[in-house]
Every structure is written in C-alpha cells, then in structure tokens.
Amino acid sequence: MQLTAKEQAMLAGAEGAGVRKAIEIVVALGQIYGADRLVPVESVQVAGVSYKNLGAAGLAFLREWAEEGGQVRVPTMLNPAGIDLERWRALGFDETFAAQQSQVVAAFAAMGIEPTCTCTPYLVGHVPELGTHLAWAESSAVSFVNAVLGARTNREGGPSAIAAAISGRTARYGLHCDENRLASVEVVVRCPVQGAADWGALGYLVGKAARNRVPLFRGLPLDGPSETNRAVWDPLKALGAAMAASGAVALYHVAGVTPEARQAEMLQSGHETLIIDSLAAGYRALSGDGGPLRIDLVWFGCPHASLDEIAELAGFAAGKRFVPAVWITTSRQVREAAQAAGHLATIEAAGGEVVADTCVVVAPVEGRFRSMATLSGKGGYYAPSYLGIQVRYGDWEQLQQVMLTGRWKAGDDS
C-alpha cells in the first residue's frame, strides 16, 4: 500500500500515540482488504454508542484513546445512544444506566465528536456531496449516503470509524472504488409500493435475496434527482434500512432517480434479475405469527423520524387518546423543530412521546414491553431478537387502529 510521507510519519508516532493507534487500524484494514492507498474522509459517523452495547470495557477503551491524544480531525457524529439525554428520567430510564451513558457521550466529546446521537444525520444538516469519501458506521445511514446522495463509504465498525476520524483517512477498498459500485442484482418491481410499511417490506424481501450485493431497482414510483428531491428521502430511508437489516446491502441504485444510476449504466453484465410482484411475503415475515395480540408499544422512527413523519403522526393524534405507549424516535434537532411547529404538544396530549437521541433497539427497554407494532422494516426485523418481544408489522392504517384500541386484530398481517 502506498502511504504519503505524512501518513508514514503518523505511523511512526510523530503526532502522538492516539494518532498512531488510529492510523495503524486504518492501515491494517487496508492491508486485509487489499487497498492501494488511503483516502481523506470528509466526515465520520460512529456507531456503538449505547452503553448497552459498549459496556464498561468499551467506555475504558474510549477514555484511554482520548487520553492518548485521540482527537478527531473531520466532522464526526454519533449514532443513537441508549437514552434520551435530556428526558431520560421522565421516560423511565434507570439512573445508573443514564449516568453510564452520559460518561460514554462525554468520552466521545473529549475526542471532539459531536453528540448528534442520530442515525439520520443527513436530516439535520450533514448532507455529503456526490463522490465524497466518508467513514460512516450505522447500516441505514451508510445505505442512504451511498445510494441516495452518491457519497462513498464502507460500513465501518465502531473502532474503525473512530480511527478514520482521528487519522482523517480511510483505506481505499470496497465501496470507495468505482468497480465495486456496480449492481449485480436487477430488481424489477411490478406491484404498487406506497407508504413506509410497503417500503420496509420491499426492503426486507430484496435484502434477503441480495445479501451483501448491490441491487438496482426498476419500476419504483419515485422521481429524481434523489440528492435534491427530498420527497423521496423518507421512502428511500425505509427501503435502505430494511435491506441493510435483512441482508447487508450497503449500496443500491434506483434507475432514473439515484445519482450514479442517472449518470451511467450501473448494472454489471451477467447480473441476476429478481421480479417482485407482491409484498405480502415481506409483511408475513415481519409480523410474527400474525395472530391477534394486545400491543404494548407502537414504534415509529426507525430510522429516526423526519419532521414530515412527525407531522403526519401529529395530524392523526389531534384530539385522540392513545391506548398503548406510542414512541416516535428522532434526533434532538428534529424534536426541537417538531416542538416549534406544535407537533410535540399534540402528540403528547394524545399520550405519545417524541423521544430524542435513542431508539427502541439500542435503549435498555427489555422487559418493559412485551409486544410492539411498527411500520419499520428494520425495527420489525430486529425487535424480536434484540428485545425478545412479539412484533406485528403493518401499514399506517393498521397502526392507527392499534393506537386507538391497543389491539392487533387477526388477519391484519398482509
């Protein structure tokens, strides 16, 4: 691998132990994956932020790196933490866990990392440009910036993202290279796709089939260009998140919509073709046994909700009273915007909560809810295994019924 004089000096310890550790990790990954050189990164997103996942050993690791002089040199953001950092007590989170989580955020802050605590940083001003190199870690965010914005990132792990932030570089392999961004699965969609649950069910089905390959979609009811037409962002964030969960899809293209597919033929010769004429199998797979169930929690905001999604929930909540707990998880900035727009007061008056900085999967909510209904493909996919709860997966109309009755009715699973 070719290293510049500056990179060689970093490796030799010229910028201190923390920088040497960072570039050692970046170079080691480059050697494993056959990179020819390192590339500068414009921004970094770090995952593995919840104390539930990190634990005492992870916290000690972060503190040690900060004490060694580990300081980020590019804008660096955090994925959701384990609590709402301001309202954790009102939301019923444990005081000991809250103190531990605050120490984690403080350790990241000591490295210069912004406590953004969101998986949708692109909704709060971090919108990378076409072709820029990044080192982002959360799978749905990786998928979004690669596909919708045409930026370039592999799916980083916790330490490798921090290493990229401190060294300002990542190894050039995988999705940083043109040849690996071509699609090998053509997905022809012949059924209607409308509403978040449809996008999640489609993503579930395609992720299962594509695994870690790159799909190219045809037949989706979307208009480009996806970088600037924000009307397509909510559908594509739901689609990409579900594909990253049921498979490991880190990049996809949509013909005529996403930037690289508008500029060039992104389909490899010898590709496979997948025809989707129904989403019913996706709904069934995400909905447990599909039978009637008393629902404890209705969860929106996986990935973190946009202001439009919160506005839609507020529109429904006006003048109503929710029976189960209703959480919509989002970033702090979007929560503040929702408050300014009056949505928060409406949702809270109905008994719902707009929860910032965290989400149901990374928060320590095990044992608190026995059942959940959602329209998120990713949330529906992970909740049974991460939280040990029963899940029902449905569209917006089904979830409206659940919010008013607390019950999932039999036959509502397709």
Return residues touching ligand F3S (CB under 6 A).
79-80, 119, 138, 140, 241, 302-304, 329, 359, 361-362, 378-379, 382
Q: Report the distance separating Cα 187 and Cα 291, nearest Å.
A: 31
Nearest approach, Cβ of residue 250 and ligand F3S (Å): 14
For 216, the token pair is: 């190219």
Task: Provide the token pair at 195.
Answer: 């509403």
Pick between residue 204 and residue 382 the one whose CB is nearest to ligand F3S. 382
Q: Closest Cα partner for 149 from 174, 123, 170?
A: 123
The answer to whether 408 touches 373, Cβ cutoff 8 Å, is yes
Which residue lies nearer to ligand F3S by CB, 71 or 390?
Answer: 390
Q: Which of 305, 348, 351, 306 is nearest to 328 (CA)?
A: 305
Residue 26 or 119: the one with the smaller Cβ distance to ligand F3S is: 119
| Between 135 and 359, CB nearer to ligand F3S | 359
> Least distance in Å: CB of 22 to ligand F3S?
24
Q: Least distance from C-beta 409 to ligand F3S, angstroms?
A: 26
Of 217, 215, 370, 175, the residue nearest 288 (C-alpha)? 370
Instruction: List Cβ neighbours of 341 (8 Å cut-off, separation of 6 or more).
Output: 307, 311
For ligand F3S, which is the closer residue by CB, 201 or 362? 362
Whichever of 70 and 379 has its CB closer to ligand F3S, that residue is 379
Q: Please, which residue, 358 or 371, has the CB nearer to ligand F3S?
A: 358
> How many CB atoms are closer than 10 A to CB 411?
9
Q: C-beta of 392: minimal distance to ligand F3S in Å?
A: 17
- Closer residue to ligand F3S (CB): 29 or 361: 361
> Closest distance between ligand F3S and the C-beta of residue 355, in Å?
10
Query: How is residue 262 written in tokens?
Result: 């508008």
Q: Where are the alpha helices (DSSP H) in 12-115?
A: 17-33, 51-67, 95-110
DSSP symbol at 179: G
d(CA 129, CA 147): 12
For residue 79, the minimal CB distance to ligand F3S (Å) is 6
Which residue bears the tokens 């506005």?
A: 311
Residue 348 tokens, joined: 């809270």
- How far apart CA 227 and CA 224 sit, in angstroms, is 8
Shortest gap between Cβ of 289 and ligand F3S (angstroms)? Answer: 23
Q: Which is nearer to ligand F3S, 26 or 389 (CB)?
A: 389
Shortest approach of ligand F3S to residue 329 CB, angstroms? 6
- Cβ 32 to ligand F3S, closest distance in Å? 27
Residue 281 has a CB neighbour count (10 Å cut-off) of 14
Q: What is the dihedral of CA 363, 366, 370, 375, to 10 degrees?
A: 30
Q: How far apart are CA 366 and CA 363, in angstroms?
A: 8
Cα–Cα distance for residue pair 18/287, rounded to 1 Å: 46
